[in-house]
């Protein structure tokens, strides 16, 4: 760490850090914090180390503002980066080896570790891209993508509505409910079920997104064709999973329903469907990802001039890679939020399932 003070930051002859008093202070603070952390050990060391990492990271990020260093950083700069990185790794290791007693702190810890890890990855990406001066056509820094994200919110909003609200959600609703209904009918008539299950398995293994050009031909360029692709892609996983779930209830329970004199509808709503819920939610979760992929791929075959897939392919053609990354971030956020909502709904409705009881 202290090595960085004497090593040149870039091609300059004068040791660069000494010329910048504020940064010098930050670096010294980081070094001091690391030293104390190494000496103190235990829980306190993690906190001090994290503070040191923050100081070092702030130093490097501020240094990158300098046009001399940006793109042509040298040994001294990388020493600070290395120190920050090592410190962060040590913090993560330290955190991961902690075993807190009570529930809330364990949950916080389980959230904090991956977040810290992700922050480190993003930091390294930023510093490496800017330090080495990687041309933004190949890989933009995350800050550039974030800036683009913030500056083109209206476009992103339009794309989101076009792809997600219209294409994904409608197709998802149609595909999933159709799969559910067909599965319920197939379960009623064993002959149908025996025929549909292997076929459903076969179809869900096929590259169904390939029907996208046909759907575009049938339903036009706008969202109905995307919804159709999504519906088709989500139908078969739902069918197969629901069929498996409907036969998940035990013999004893079915006999009990029969001894109550329950008719088929009552048995369905009181026994079969609740027992199938974990399977149905499994399909809903699988479909959440599949639906987004299906809609984006369908947009590669033709769209009105908006939509995530359209924007990605055109902006990639125009070499505006930061816009592409902003769209990917949008798709990622939408995908995760969608998945998270389904998972939350699952928690609320299948709280009785063994996997949620502790």
Partner 1 sequence: MTNSALALSLSRAGSLRQHPLFVRYAPIATIVLALIVIWYIAAVLMNLSLVRDGFEREETPYTVSDLIEGTMSAERPLLPAPHQVINAFVDSVFGYAPTAPRSLVYHSAVTLSATLLGFLLGALLGIGLALMIVHSRVLEKSLLPWIICSQMVPILALAPIFVVVLGAIGLQGLLPKSIISAYLCFFPITIGMVKGFTAPDPMQLDLMRTWSATPRQVLSKLRWPSAVPFLFASLKVAITISLIGAIVAELPTGAEAGIGARLLAGSYYGQTIQIWAALLAAAVLASGLIGLVDLTERGVARQMGTRS
> Is 322 near partner 1 (CB under 8 A)?
no
Through-space distance between the first and last CA atoms of the chain, rounded to whole angstroms? 46
Pick the piece of the chain touching partner 1 (CB under 8 A) from 50-58, 77-85, 171-179, 326-334.
326-334
Q: In this chain, which of 132, 218, 260, 356 binds partner 1, going by CB under 8 A?
A: 218
Angle between helical axes of 308-317 and 273-299 (0-180°, round to 10) = 30
> Is 118 near partner 1 (CB under 8 A)?
yes
> Is 355 near partner 1 (CB under 8 A)?
no
What dihedral angle (degrees, nearest 10) is formed by the CA atoms of 166, 172, 173, 179?
Answer: 150
> Is 138 near partner 1 (CB under 8 A)?
yes
Neighbours of 56 (CB within 10 A): 30
Pick the piece of the chain touching partner 1 (CB under 8 A) from 74-82, 200-208, 246-254, 261-269.
200-208
Alpha helices (H) in 132-152, listed in sequence order: 142-151
> Is 232 near partner 1 (CB under 8 A)?
no
Q: In this chain, which of 63, 180, 331, 346 binds partner 1, going by CB under 8 A?
A: 331
> Is 301 near partner 1 (CB under 8 A)?
yes
> Is 110 near partner 1 (CB under 8 A)?
yes
Count of CA atoms in the C-beta half-sphere (13 A) of 22 = 5
d(CA 133, CA 141): 10
Q: How many residues bind to partner 1 according to rule CB under 8 A?
A: 61
> Is 304 near partner 1 (CB under 8 A)?
no
- Chain position carrying tokens 């794309």: 159
Q: How far is CA 121 from CA 30, 141, 257, in A?
A: 20, 12, 55
Neighbours of 4 (CB within 10 A): 26
Q: In this chain, which of 22, 101, 191, 251 binds partner 1, going by CB under 8 A?
A: 191
> Is 153 near partner 1 (CB under 8 A)?
no
Q: Which is nearer to partner 1, 144 or 257 (CB)?
A: 144
- Report the site for partner 1 in 29-58 (rule: CB under 8 A): none
DSSP string for 9-47: SSS-SS-GGGG-HHHHHHHHHHHHHHHHHHHH-HHHHHH
Q: How far is CA 333 from CA 20, 134, 219, 289, 295, in A?
A: 39, 26, 28, 12, 15
> Is 327 near partner 1 (CB under 8 A)?
yes
> Is 221 near partner 1 (CB under 8 A)?
no
Encoding tokens for residue 246? 């409907």
Pick the piece of the chain touching partner 1 (CB under 8 A) from 125-133, 143-151, 238-246, 330-338.
330-338
Pick the piece of the chain touching partner 1 (CB under 8 A) from 146-154, 222-230, 266-274, 311-319.
311-319
Residues that bind partner 1 (CB under 8 A): 92-93, 95-97, 110, 113-114, 116-118, 137-139, 191-196, 198-199, 202, 205-207, 209-214, 216-218, 288-289, 292-293, 296-297, 300-302, 308-309, 312-313, 316, 319, 321, 324-325, 327-328, 331-332, 335-336, 338-339
């Amino acid at each position: 760490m202290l090595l960085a003070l004497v090593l040149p930051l870039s091609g300059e002859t004068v040791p660069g850090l000494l010329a910048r008093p504020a940064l010098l202070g930050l670096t010294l603070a980081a070094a001091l914090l690391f030293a104390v952390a190494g000496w103190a050990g235990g829980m306190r060391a993690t906190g001090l180390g994290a503070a040191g990492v923050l100081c070092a990271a702030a130093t490097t990020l501020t240094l990158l503002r300098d046009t001399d260093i940006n793109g042509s950083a040298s040994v001294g700069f990388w020493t600070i980066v290395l120190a920050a990185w090592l410190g962060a790794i040590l913090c993560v290791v330290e955190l991961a080896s902690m075993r807190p007693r009570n529930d809330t702190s364990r949950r916080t810890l389980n959230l904090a570790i991956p977040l810290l890890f992700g922050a480190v990855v993003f930091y390294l990406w930023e510093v490496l891209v800017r330090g080495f001066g990687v041309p933004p056509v190949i890989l933009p820094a995350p800050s550039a993508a974030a800036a683009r994200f913030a500056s083109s919110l209206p476009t992103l909003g339009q794309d989101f509505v076009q792809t997600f609200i219209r294409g994904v959600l409608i197709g998802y609703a149609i595909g999933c409910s159709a799969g559910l209904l067909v599965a319920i009918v197939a379960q009623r008539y064993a002959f149908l079920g025996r025929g549909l299950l292997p076929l459903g398995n076969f179809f869900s293994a096929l590259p169904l997104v390939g029907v996208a050009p046909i759907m575009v031909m049938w339903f036009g360029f706008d969202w109905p064709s995307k919804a159709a692709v999504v519906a088709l892609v989500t139908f078969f996983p739902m069918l197969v999973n629901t069929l498996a779930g409907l036969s998940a209830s035990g013999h004893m329970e079915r006999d009990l329903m029969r001894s109550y004199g329950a008719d088929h509808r009552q048995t369905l709503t009181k026994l079969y469907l609740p027992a199938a819920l974990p399977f149905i939610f499994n399909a809903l979760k699988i479909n959440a990802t599949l639906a987004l992929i299906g809609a984006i791929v369908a947009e590669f075959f033709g769209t009105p001039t908006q939509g995530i897939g359209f924007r990605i392919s055109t902006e990639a053609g125009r070499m505006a890679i930061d816009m592409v990354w902003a769209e990917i971030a949008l798709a990622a956020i939408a995908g995760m939020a969608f998945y998270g909502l389904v998972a939350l709904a699952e928690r609320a409705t299948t709280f009785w399932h063994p996997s949620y009881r502790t």
